[in-house]
Every structure is written in C-alpha cells, then in structure tokens.
Chains A and B, each alone.
Chain A
C-alpha cells in the first residue's frame, strides 16, 4: 500500500462534509424535479385530485350502502356492462310485474 495516498483525519472530515453537501443538494434537486413532473402530469392527464369528468370514468364500483354512499375511496377503470349471472328463461306462468317503458 502506498502511504502517500493515505488521508489524514482532517482531510477525511472535509471529504465527508463535501459528500453531505452533494447528497443534500442532489436530494433537493430530485424533490424539485419530482414536484415539477407531478405538476406537468397533473396538467396533462385528467383525473387529477381536483377532479375532472374523467374522474367519473374511474368511479369506484364499491357496492353502495342503502344511502348510496360508497365505502372505499379507491378508483378503478370504467366498469364494463355485465350480463346477468344466470340466463333468463321462458315460463308459462303469468307475469307478476311488467317491464315496459314508463
């Protein structure tokens, strides 16, 4: 090992301080960049936290309580229209209610 490359304790302390300064600066720059990106993204894509019509397209489909409120704030893609789980059948019974225009 070459003794000429050894650093004194004082030199090590100075190097560590410089490294801290660089780290803090890099972190602050990263935070600023992330904030700028978020601002751009919010302005570019609908469905931001301020709400747009696209929010309706990501409406939660959490089953409603009887007052219609939802129990989750999660968002998801626009729900697709679903067929009934069981196919309806023809019956010879009399109807008990009528479906029709109203």
Chain B
C-alpha cells in the first residue's frame, strides 16, 4: 500500500493505491482536482463558475466538467427536495463565506453585518444540454462546494485507478472518500470522526469499506464569527441560516461519494424531519446528535460499546 497527501480545493487530499503506480495515480488525481478547481471554484476570480455567476442571466456555454457538476448539483437538489441546493451561493456570501475558508477564519469579521436570505431554488437554473449552456438568473449565485467536492472524489478515484494499474485506489478530499478497483484484503480501513483532521490512527470507530464511498457532513467544522455570532457553512436553503437540526454530524456510505455527500448534507439540514427519507434510501448512516450521542441507520457497521463520536 502506498500513499500521498497534499492540499487542493481548500482541503486535505489523501490518495492510497494498493498494488499500482502511486506516482502516476497522484498525477492523474492532481490533474482532475486542478480541472475541478478551475471550473467550479466560487473563490477564484478566473474560474468558470465565477464567470457564470456574473453573467446576469445570459445563457453561458460552459465546459463539459462544469456542466456535469451543475447537473449533478441540480439532481441532488431534486433528490433532496431542495435540502441540498446549489443556488445557496448568495446566502453563503451574506453570512460571510465569500473567500476561501482559510481567509474567512482569519478575518476580523466578528462585527461585520450578517444577513440571512432563503435561496431562489434550483428550478430557476436553465440547462441546455445540446448547446451545453447554463443560465443563472441575475441575482442568483451558484455554490458547488458540497456536491462539487464529492463529484471530484468520484472522478479522481476513477482517474487514479486508470493511471495506477490493476489494483485498487482510494481518494479522500477532506473526508469525502471514494474507492475503486480491487479493495485490499479486509477492505479499506477508515476512521469515522466528526473532523477529517483527526489523525487516521487515532481512537474511534474504524470501518472497512469494500466499494463505493463514504462522506461526512458536520456543523462542528468550518465555523466562524459574524456579527458577533457563531455561524457555520451548512446553511438551510429554506432560510439561509446555519442548519440547527437534530444532527450535528452525519456520515453516510453509498455507491458514490456524490450520493453519500448528498444524503449526509440533507440529513444535517433536514434534521429529524429527514429521518423517514433517510431510512427509506437503504444507505448506511452514522448520526451524531447535538449532545454527542450516536445513532446508526441501515447497514452501518456495529458500534463497539463505549465508542464515542
């Protein structure tokens, strides 16, 4: 087993390759992440998404990658009845998340004004598949931060396996993890935590992932002060306010990282009201309540007695 780690898309990247060319895989993953950043970043002035958000309602031809990322985000919105909605960009900016998070956290913005606005809703975005154009109404801003990172993990692991050879590969983007190819014996061991910066060999539940993906959303990270109040990055599209539901952290195992991330984010935003939906999906989930107790859904691996969140 060989591994590489570096930073991209504003987060930590981990690549593991079992029986393959790790350097070739690393180059392939880096190329995918660079392309995703160029297409989908809301924080780069030269990104395609920034240009699209500034197009003031004009249909704009975009790259195949951005078109796919926006399509995926709109599908996620449809699947979650708007709990995960890419038109959240303006609301994110109004609560102060208008820079790469490393800069947001450093700003003396505790006294800066704050506004909460609900979103326009994903149905206002027009796609023309044949012309590969997107129209975002004036005043609406897309943010692909959630689904975009998960899609990037799915694309990156496929690129890794193509480049590395016949073994297996794992790509983690800030805790959104996708695997492909042949899993090592016993599966890919993954520590489940609330913060992806927790060292992987630390204490806690370790699960073995054999295929698919696992993603975690949490209100305990990416927090900052705005107008003297703590806010975080998981906004409820219906109100534009930071989600304050039953769960503070949700980890989900699904066939793709995009699916896992979509469900995890929707669980946080929807809270207890999303329970029936979550159960009916058939995915495995691990939920941490606001007071730190654990609940699991579906075929989530059994928790050892005394394991904490």
Contacts and interface: CB of A to CB of B under 8 A. Distances in A.
Interface of A: 49-57, 59, 63-64, 66-70, 73, 75, 78-102
Interface of B: 1, 3, 11-12, 14, 16, 28, 31-32, 35-36, 39, 63-66, 68-72, 74-75, 77-79, 122-131, 133, 135, 151, 154-155, 158-159, 162, 170, 172-177, 186-202, 204-222, 249, 251, 253-256, 259, 262-263, 281-284, 298-302, 304
A69 B151 CA distance: 12
Nearest to B232: A101
B222 A102 contact: yes
B64 A68 contact: yes
Given A55-B127, A101-B175, A89 B208 contact: yes
Given A81-B262, A82-B256, A101-B221, 9 more contacts: A53-B123, A56-B74, A57-B78, A59-B72, A83-B253, A86-B210, A98-B200, A99-B193, A102-B173
Contacts of B191: 94-95, 97-99
A70 B238 CA distance: 32
Contacts of B214: 88, 99
Contacts, number: 249
A81 B208 CA distance: 21
Given A83-B255, A90-B302, A97 B207 contact: no
A21 B172 CA distance: 71
A99 B72 contact: no
A96 B188 contact: yes
Contact of B125 (A53, A81, A102): A53
A100 B196 contact: yes
Contacts of B196: 98-102
Contact of B211 (A49, A56, A86): A86
Name A's interface SS.
Answer: loop
A88 B301 contact: yes
Given A50-B128, A59-B75, A67-B35, A97 B14 contact: yes
A83 B283 contact: yes
A84 B284 contact: yes
Contact of A100 (B77, B194, B256): B194
A68 B75 contact: no
B283 A97 contact: no
